[in-house]
Copies of this chain bind each other. A is one copy, B any other.
Amino acid sequence: MDETERTRGVVSQYFATMAAREWDAFGELLSADVVYEMPQTRERITGRTKYLQFNREYPGDWTATVTRLIVDRTTAAGSMNFTVGDEEMVGLVYLELADGLITRITDFWPEPYDPPTGREHLVEQVVSATDRIS
């Protein structure tokens, strides 16, 4: 199996075990020194133990659906539609692997904003899309 397909298997399991809250199986995909980063808040979590605790403690009755998975040797990018109660969000994630384990995860949570003026002659407003941003 080539490197890209090995990574695809691990990252697919990452999303599947997250969605199912199977945290023991989720943890087996992570390197002991995994780094989890959220650039928007400048937060970083270091190590499998803390990152697992972060996920176990994460509040809210959320569900997640993968909408994109792009895999390239030992890196991957994914996107997810999240629902937390009445709120719908999109999560964008970049992953890096070494020796078949996830070593770095970078998460982004883009929020809706009002479109700037001056480009109305070029754009149309979309009601629904792949990405669930409410």
Listed in ascending order, the chain A residues whose CB lies under 8 Å from chain B are 4, 37-46, 50, 53-54, 57, 59, 68-72, 75-77, 79, 90, 92, 94, 106, 108-115, 118-119, 122-127, 129-131, 133
Contact = CB atoms under 8 A, between A and B. Distances in A.
7 contacts: A39-B130, A39-B131, A43-B124, A44-B126, A54-B123, A70-B72, A109-B110
Classify the secondary structure of A's interface with B.
Answer: mixed
The 6 A-B pairs at the shortest CB distance, nearest first, are namely A77-B77, A39-B131, A41-B115, A110-B110, A108-B110, A43-B123
B4 A72 contact: yes
A61 to B, nearest CB: 16
Q: Give this chain's copy count.
A: 2
A106 B110 CA distance: 13
A53 B120 CA distance: 12
A34 B109 CA distance: 26
